[in-house]
Chain A
Amino acid sequence: MNPHLKKWSCGYRLRLMKYLFLFLFAPYLWAQSPGNAVKVGDSTCLDCHEDEAAAITPTIHWTSPQMEEGFICESCHGPGSVHAETEEATSIYNPRTDFMEVEGNKCLDCHTGEQFGSLQGVAHYEMENGCSSCHTVHSTSEHLLVKSSRELCKDCHQEVVGQFQLASHHPVPEGLMECVSCHQVHGGNNAFAATEGTRELCLSCHSSKEGPFVFEHEPVNEDCNICHTPHGAVANALLVQNEPALCMNCHYMHFHSSLTGYEGTVFSETPGEFFEPLHPNRTGVSSLDAWKKAFTTKCTQCHQQVHGSDLPSQGVSSMGRSLTR
């Protein structure tokens, strides 16, 4: 094809016309860009946005004395003269749809308190609609949430919701705790957006386990998550495994578990056969594997004080460390 002809093709001419148009009308377009808008006042906004007016006037964002009197809408949406003239959605800032920048958003211009941590880099902050993913500004709901906090978290964290359906769980499904009881959703310094580091967070409610104790159990100092899983577990007490399997990860089985059991009653039926004083009501039934059942079913039947104790256990040879008392 003749290159000269190509230069003057239809597409080329259209593009040229577009640049010419932009050049001629540049001053007008510049004036119409949201960045050059000026404030028009709430009454202008509410003339058109009747529904929003009804929704926002009862809210803290409308009633807060920190907002500029008469220009409350524009406190969040920015100056609205261009939008009032063009009536185009793109000509005004909308926190719900315009949130995308990693750099920040307008909500944080006012919400600077400590509880907002340092949001940049926090996954919750960088969701599709930023703060509006969870909050609705034009509402009187508590904390301006779009749903109750329990329902809201469920939408994205379905796998955690599943863990709360297991037989042992913190009472979140019962409505006695909320996700925010442990999680600081606005970020901070801790893993999993926890309000505190693991140990401090758990001990803020379970303070009887803090110690320091005379007789310690080392994993308690190390990390609660070695033995427990916080959302839900099949085993009792949110244990990652049921006893004795959990204990056997670190401890050998009691050597008495290797005894052969007698098939019969525990108490001697022949007076004087064995020493007294076995109390008459200390009796029971024994079986071939009775010693194994006793020593390899639940270790904390005897070693109850697994989080630590100030009282020594009975044997000198274990130096009082068996956590039975």
Chain B
Amino acid sequence: MHYGSLYTETDYEVKSHILNGTLSYQLMPSVALNVQGTFSKSSASFDPVEMPQTPLRTLAEEKIHLANYDYSTIHSYSDLDYQFLNLRLGLTYAISKIVGWDLVIDYYDLTDNQGYVYGVESGTFYVIRTGFSIYRSGK
């Protein structure tokens, strides 16, 4: 049997705090330091779905075998809540006018406070990079 539809409104909300910062400092004439950071805290969720208790709902729950129109928990299956941190530390040393050395450390960290169909996605990823640079110009 068919008892029509049951509906209600629900609110969906996205919230994000995003912070960026970069600091450059010339420690010595030949040494420079660079620090960059990004932090974001984001969430996306919808409010509990509270279906109205209408006469048709009561009838449907009686007539339809084991129908359950309590949807008040479904929002919790797909809520998202992430914290993301990215830090970069860079150090540059000018050995001479044409040769330099640098070191860069990139650090990424994701904290997943909710988990979704992929499971909890919290993880860390970092890259340490170092090398020499040569600059030339001329005929």
A and B touching (C-beta < 8 Å)? yes
Interface residues of A (CB under 8 A from B): 158, 161-162, 165-167, 173, 233-236, 241-245, 252-253, 257-260, 289, 292-293, 296-298, 301
Contact A161/B20 with A234-B14, A235-B44, A297-B78 known, Cβ cut-off 8 Å = yes
Please determine whether A292 and B78 come into contact, CB atoms closer than 8 angstroms.
no
Contact A289/B73 with A162-B20, A167-B84, A241-B44 known, Cβ cut-off 8 Å = yes
Most chain A CB neighbours (cut-off 10 Å) among B7, B38, B77: B77
List 6 tightest A-B contacts by C-beta distance, closest first.
Answer: A162-B18, A234-B44, A297-B77, A260-B66, A296-B74, A165-B40
Sampled A-B contacts (10; CB under 8 Å): A165-B40, A166-B18, A167-B84, A234-B44, A241-B46, A243-B78, A257-B74, A258-B68, A292-B77, A296-B78
Contact A242/B68 with A166-B42, A234-B16, A235-B44 known, Cβ cut-off 8 Å = no
Q: At the interface, yes or no: B5 with Cβ under 8 Å from chain A?
A: yes
Please determine whether A242 and B44 come into contact, CB atoms closer than 8 angstroms.
yes
Tell me, rounded to whole Å, the shortest Cβ–Cβ distance linking B73 to chain A.
Answer: 6
Q: At the interface, yes or no: B117 with Cβ under 8 Å from chain A?
A: yes
Q: At the interface, yes or no: B33 with Cβ under 8 Å from chain A?
A: no
Cα A244 to Cα B117 in complex, Å, equals 12
Q: At the interface, yes or no: B132 with Cβ under 8 Å from chain A?
A: no
Most chain A CB neighbours (cut-off 10 Å) among B10, B14, B79: B14
B residues in contact with A165, CB < 8 Å: 18, 20, 38, 40, 84, 86
Q: At the interface, yes or no: B126 with Cβ under 8 Å from chain A?
A: no
Chain B, 72-96, CB within 8 A of any chain A CB: 73-74, 77-80, 82, 84, 86
Cα A301 to Cα B46 in complex, Å, equals 20
Interface residues of B (CB under 8 A from A): 5, 7, 10, 12, 14, 16, 18, 20, 38, 40, 42-44, 46, 64, 66-69, 71, 73-74, 77-80, 82, 84, 86, 110, 116-117
Please determine whether B84 and A298 come into contact, CB atoms closer than 8 angstroms.
no
For the complex with contacts A252-B5, A260-B68, A301-B117, 20 further pairs of A-B residues with Cβ separation under 8 Å are A162-B20, A165-B38, A166-B42, A166-B84, A233-B14, A234-B42, A234-B80, A236-B116, A241-B44, A242-B116, A245-B46, A252-B7, A257-B74, A259-B66, A293-B77, A296-B71, A296-B74, A296-B78, A297-B117, A298-B116
Cα A236 to Cα B111 in complex, Å, equals 15
Closest B residue to A140 by CB, please name it. Answer: B137
Residue in A162, A173, A234, A298 whose CB lies within 8 Å of B117: A298
Residue in A161, A166, A258 whose CB lies within 8 Å of B16: A166
B residues in contact with A297, CB < 8 Å: 77-78, 116-117
Cα A165 to Cα B38 in complex, Å, equals 8
Give the tally of cross-chain contacts (CB within 8 A). 83
Tell me, rounded to whole Å, the shortest Cβ–Cβ distance linking B36 to chain A.
Answer: 11
Tell me, rounded to whole Å, the shortest Cβ–Cβ distance linking A108 to chain B.
Answer: 31
Tell me, rounded to whole Å, the shortest Cβ–Cβ distance linking B71 to chain A.
Answer: 7
Contact A244/B5 with A234-B43, A258-B68 known, Cβ cut-off 8 Å = no
Please determine whether B71 and A259 come into contact, CB atoms closer than 8 angstroms.
no
Tell me, rounded to whole Å, the shortest Cβ–Cβ distance linking A284 to chain B.
Answer: 15
Please determine whether B67 and A258 come into contact, CB atoms closer than 8 angstroms.
yes
A residues in contact with B116, CB < 8 Å: 236, 242, 297-298
Please determine whether A167 and B71 come into contact, CB atoms closer than 8 angstroms.
no
A residues in contact with B18, CB < 8 Å: 162, 165-166
Cα A80 to Cα B1 in complex, Å, equals 91
Please determine whether B67 and A259 come into contact, CB atoms closer than 8 angstroms.
yes
Tell me, rounded to whole Å, the shortest Cβ–Cβ distance linking A229 to chain B.
Answer: 10
Please determine whether B74 and A292 come into contact, CB atoms closer than 8 angstroms.
yes
B residues in contact with A293, CB < 8 Å: 77
Cα A52 to Cα B94 in complex, Å, equals 25
Cα A288 to Cα B10 in complex, Å, equals 23
Tell me, rounded to whole Å, the shortest Cβ–Cβ distance linking A56 to chain B.
Answer: 15
B residues in contact with A233, CB < 8 Å: 14
Cα A165 to Cα B80 in complex, Å, equals 15
Cα A259 to Cα B68 in complex, Å, equals 6
Contact A167/B82 with A241-B12, A245-B46 known, Cβ cut-off 8 Å = yes
A residues in contact with B66, CB < 8 Å: 259-260
Tell me, rounded to whole Å, the shortest Cβ–Cβ distance linking B82 to chain A.
Answer: 5
Please determine whether A245 and B78 come into contact, CB atoms closer than 8 angstroms.
yes
Closest A residue to B117 by CB, please name it. Answer: A298
